[in-house]
């Protein structure tokens, strides 16, 4: 089945679709391959060239989908959390050559995942210093 037909069948009735009563214009998706959680063919995992970015303990995993069938090969690369620049450069290198239209969304997803993984900065206790008072 082609990706276009699969999208036409599942775009309004998928189990990962999120609809709200007051807002009929915007629909969101909980699909794991959806970079922006927006219900559209461009970001959906139904697309034959989908990009998945998922968190792991030491960084992020970038998976690219090859073809529309689930049994077809996927390419996975785990980027260790050596720093925000290293992870961003790896995401940019992989996604730019694969799907350049998803580059901005992929960098945003990777940045959000790194923000969640980062420990909060250690704050030192505030030291109150008194003026030398002569008695």
Q: Do 3 and 69 contact (CB within 8 A), yes or no? A: no
- Domain ranges for the chain: 3-117
Q: Which of 5-19, 30-44, 46-60, 98-112 has the lowest mean pLDDT?
A: 5-19
**Per-residue confidence (pLDDT) for residue 80, from 0 to 100:** 74
Assess whether pLDDT exceeds 80 at residue 115: yes
Assess whether pLDDT exceeds 70 at residue 133: no
Assess whether pLDDT exceeds 70 at residue 134: no
**Per-residue confidence (pLDDT) for residue 38, from 0 to 100:** 84
The CATH number of the domain covering residues in 3-117: 3.30.390.110
* Joined tokens for residue 44: 């959906």
Report the predicted TM-score, pTM, of the whole model to 2 decimal places.
0.74
| Among 57, 49, 64, CA closest to 81 | 57
Q: What is the mean pLDDT of the chain?
A: 80
Per-residue pLDDT tens digits for 38-95: 888 888 888 888 888 888 887 888 888 876 555 566 778 888 777 788 889 989 998 8
DSSP state of 38: B
């Amino acid at each position: 089945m082609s990706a276009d037909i699969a999208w036409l069948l599942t775009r309004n009735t998928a189990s990962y679709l999120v609809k709200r009563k007051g807002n009929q214009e915007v629909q969101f998706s909980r699909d794991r391959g959806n970079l922006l959680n927006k219900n559209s063919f461009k970001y959906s995992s139904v697309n034959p060239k989908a990009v998945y970015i998922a968190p792991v303990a030491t960084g992020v995993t970038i998976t690219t989908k090859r073809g529309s069938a689930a049994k077809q090969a996927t390419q996975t690369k785990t980027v260790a959390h050596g720093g925000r620049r290293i992870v961003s450069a790896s995401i940019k290198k992989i996604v730019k050559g694969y799907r350049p239209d998803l580059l901005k969304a992929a960098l945003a997803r990777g940045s959000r995942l790194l923000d969640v993984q980062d420990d909060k900065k250690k704050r030192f206790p505030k030291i109150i210093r008194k003026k030398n008072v002569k008695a």
